[in-house]
Structure 1
Amino acid sequence: MSTSQGSHRATRGGRRAARHKEPRPPAPPPAPAGVPSHGPARAVSPYAPTVAAFRPGPPEGPPGRAPAHEGTSPDSAGAPAPAAARPAAPAASAPPSVPAPPSVPAVPAVPSAPLAPAGGRAEARRAARRRRRAAVLLGGPDGLRRLIPQALVVAFLAGGTTSFVAADKAVRLSVDGVPRTLHTFADDVEELLDEEGLTVGEHDIVAPDPDAELSHGDEVVVRFGRPVTLTVDGHSRQVWTTARTVEEALQQVGVRAGGAYTSVSRSRPISRSGLDVDVLTERTVTVTADGRSHTVRTTAATAREAVREAGISLAGQDTISVPQDSFPRDGQTITVMRIKDTEEVREEPIPYVTVRTDDPRLDRGTEVVARAGRAGKRRVTYAVRTVNGVRHKPRKLSDEVVREPVARQVRVGTRRLPDSVRGAEGLNWKALAQCESGGRPDAVDPSGTYGGLYQFDAATWRSLGGRGRPQDASPEEQTYRAKKLYVQRGASPWPHCGRRLYR
């Protein structure tokens, strides 16, 4: 229910109640002209006539009765109206209308002193209420003058606020995959990064470019570079990556990590300080052992581990064809060597030495063995290594003498031989030697029975005083013994060549 309707009903109720009460007291005498009945005169705003000129007055009605459509406060319902209302000011004395200054917002009009309404006391009460409301709004007669500059300031601030709101932007900033939405007045990406205290370097990624203009609703992505020391199959290098995890970093640098071994978890995040990552790719290695070959796919870091993954164990002195700590390459063949070490003890002879002694009693070129030599004996221990069944050269560990050798003693004749033998001089001994042995003192026939220049047999040589073998004697001694044989037996010892003695 509206206020006017409530006031209208309250007024009618008041009138009905007045009919059954005592008659109203007579109205007080009218106040002097120009003085309102409710108190001393108050200052009236210069704009009041203008406002009053455009404000519709109360409708005509019978004196002393309020119009049916005007509202009164509940407190005044049924109360007696004032005895007299202020007389209306002459129309000619009202100042001309003053229009509101330009660009000044509409200000509630200050009502002037009301004219004497035809409605009587009800209209006077309404006019008083309007004056009180205007006074509260304007704060007194000088309120309008104060309100005008304030309105100008409000208008200026409203325009600045509009520019302020227009410069504010809501952008989405993602730093290393962590997004957030923020408000900024930055004109470009670089200014936004400066506001957020983000410094980017040559290994970092910013999208869009730092000099790109920034608009409302844009998204800026920052990825910081991280140093990673990457060791792939034993080869190390340092790379920079903007990946956040080990797996993303391996993909960025192009390492095929399928089936590979990594020293850290692939889901491990990479901090700004970096990380060391070892990667062992899957390789094919062939292991040969005990006459059989085994091919395996492995990520082993050493040849020893690859052999173990092939199901082959090493025992004792067993080893492999490559260093056990070496890195197994793709397609490499590793041979297992079964090693067996043993010891052997052997008895070996110690050769004797020959000691020669000069004997002037013996003809020159004659040697006589005074004592036969005898070899000694030693016991030697050898280490024998067998690799895959193949025996290697033994290695001597120790030896000891079991029996000392006995030296051989030989007497050597130094007596000069006679220059001639009676009955054998004047013969062609050189032609006989050439026919028998080709003139070679050390010649031996194919059977080994005869030797020397003149092909003596051992028995004949000893019978003539010779020592040892005839082919070992000097040419002079051989010729001397041949002459002695000729004196004894003539040319018969040389049946085929003997006739050469006479040429």
Structure 2
Amino acid sequence: MQLRNLLPATSRTVRIAVGSTALVAVVGGTAAFTALDKDVTLDADGARTELSVFGGTVADVLESEGIEVGPHDIVAPSAGTEVADGTDIVVRYGRQLTLTLDGEQKTYWTTARTVDEALADLDVRADGARLSASRSQALGRDGLALDVVTPKNVVVVADGQERPVTTTAADVAALLAETGVSVRPGDEVSADTAARVTPDLRVQVVRVDRSQSTEQVAIAHGSRTERTDALYEGERKVVAQGVDGSKTVTFDDVFRDGVRVAHDAVGETVDVQPVEEVVQVGTKVKPAPAPAPAASSSSSGGGSVGGGVDSLNWSALAACESGGNPSIVSASGKYHGLYQFSVATWRSVGGSGLPSQASASEQTYRAKLLYQRAGAGQWPVCGKRL
């Protein structure tokens, strides 16, 4: 540790006898007495004293001045050195410094007398640092606890902004306060707010907001089937049309920095009840198909079905539908013969094969059966000709 020469704090001139044996008589008179007298300077931690001593060592001078030296103190020259005329004796007291540097605590002994000198002696680079004591504060012999936070380059991300910051904040909470970023209950911070700030730290604050929202949601209607002998087997009839209902659903929403990340249903209220669809399904056994009448080229006549159906103007219907051609097929290939049967309708009244391949008499007979079952509506354009 380098010793420093400081300006005198006090000064006095003292003549003392050094050693265990006092001079009772001096042989040779005044000349001999003068030869044993030495002028020395004692610098005790900056307090300078001019002394006149009679021989002895540095330790004798310190003892005569009541100066006790501990294991952490420095004495120069060493205590066993014989003093001579003009000797400078320097004493520097050791001070215990408990230094917490960026959260890491160590204990040192130093002879520095101020905080600034101690930092220089310990080679602590504290330019721009935040200190818990003034740099000019004196270090007393009872020591000092010193907290030093050096500047660090960090990044704070919050509210859509990324801010590079040079800070001496000790922890994350102080850093956020320094940058004007408040953390609300529920917000997320990427680092523990009690954690110390380290170089190149990146702290991100995510704003978390919670709210509720509602949505109108459709309720699908159900369907129920009823069996009835009012319809033939294979026939179906909707007797109650189904109608969807609606309900209001309440959701708990969570937003992170304005982006919704959760949308959980927490309740609902039915606004309109759905109406169930009811469908009747026939159970009545279909009668056996009537035998086909004898072949005939005429579109009139055909097998008799009774009930006034036979007397309708079937020739006029055939002329309207097909021009009276029993073998004609529509351009789409879907409708056949005199009465432009579809294959499915033809087979529903007991026909087989293609209608356009059946005789005119059979086609007329099957048309009568169809009329008997469903009326003239089967021929929406030409049915009025009957």
Q: TM-score, normalised by structure 1?
A: 0.40
The answer on whether the counterparts of 1:228 and 1:239 sit within 8 Å (CA) in structure 2 is: yes
How far off its partner does 1:177 sit? 1.5
Question: Is the 1:303–1:322 Cα contact (8 Å) retained in structure 2?
Answer: yes
Are residue 245 (structure 1) and residue 111 (structure 2) matched? no
Q: What does residue range 9-408 of structure 1 map to in structure 2 within 5 Å? A: 159-310=28-179, 312-314=180-182, 316-317=184-185, 318-344=187-213, 383-393=252-262
* Partner SS state of residue 262, structure 2: coil
Deviations for 1:79-99, whole angstroms, at most 9, x for unmatched residues? xxxxxxxxxxxxxxxxxxxxx
Query: Which structure's residues are more often strand, by fraction?
Result: 2
Q: Unpaired runs of 5+ in structure 1?
A: 1-155, 350-376, 404-503
Alpha-carbon distance in structure 2 between the residues aligned to 1:348 and 1:179: 95
What amino acid does structure 1 have at the position aligned with 2:174?
Answer: E
- Kindly indicate whether the alpha-carbon contact (under 8 Å) linking 2:255 and 2:262 is maintained by their aligned counterparts in 1: no
Matches within 5 A, 1:455-466: none
| Separation (CA, whole Å) in 2 of partners of 1:210 and 1:252 | 24
* Contact 1:345–1:379 (8 Å) recurs in 2: yes
Distance in 1 (CA, whole Å) between partners of 2:81 and 2:131 is 40
Cα deviations by residue, 1:370-429 (Å, 9 ceiling, x for unpaired): xxxxxxx99986543211233333578x769989xxxxxxxxxxxxxxxxxxxxxxxxxx
TM-score with structure 2 setting the length: 0.51
User: Does 1 or 2 have the higher relative contact order (CA < 8 Å, sep 6+)?
Assistant: 2
Conserved 8 A contact 1:228-1:274: yes
Q: Which amino acid aligns with 2:116?
A: E
Instruction: Considering fraction of residues, name the structure with more helix.
Output: 1
Q: 1:400 to 1:157 in 2, by over 3 A?
A: same
Going from structure 1 to structure 2, the CA distance change for 1:181 and 1:395 (only over 3 Å counts) comes to farther
Cα distance, 1:327 vs. partner? Answer: 1.3
Q: Secondary structure at the match of 2:28?
A: helix
**Paired residue type of 2:182:** L
SS of corresponding position for 1:159: coil
Q: Percent identity?
A: 38
Write the distance in 2 (CA, Å) between the matches of 1:272 and 1:206: 16
- Greater Cα radius of gyration, structure 1 or 2: 1
Distance across 2 between alignment mates of 1:234 and 1:381: 50
How far is the alpha carbon of 1:301 from its aligned partner?
Answer: 1.1
The one-letter amino acid of 2:159's match is D
Cα distance in 2 for residues equivalent to 1:243 and 1:167: 36
CA RMSD of superposed structures (Å):
3.4
Q: Distance in 2 between matches of 1:348 and 1:183?
A: 107
Partner letter of residue 305 of structure 1? A
Count of matched residue pairs = 224
Q: What CA deviation, in whole Å up to 9, does each residue of 1:251-272 have, x standing for no partner?
A: 1111111110100111011111
Contact 1:173 1:180 in 2 (8 A): yes
Runs of at least 5 residues in structure 2 that lack an aligned partner in the other structure:
1-24, 219-245, 272-386
Q: Do 1:186 and 1:192's aligned partners in 2 also have CA atoms closer than 8 Å?
A: no
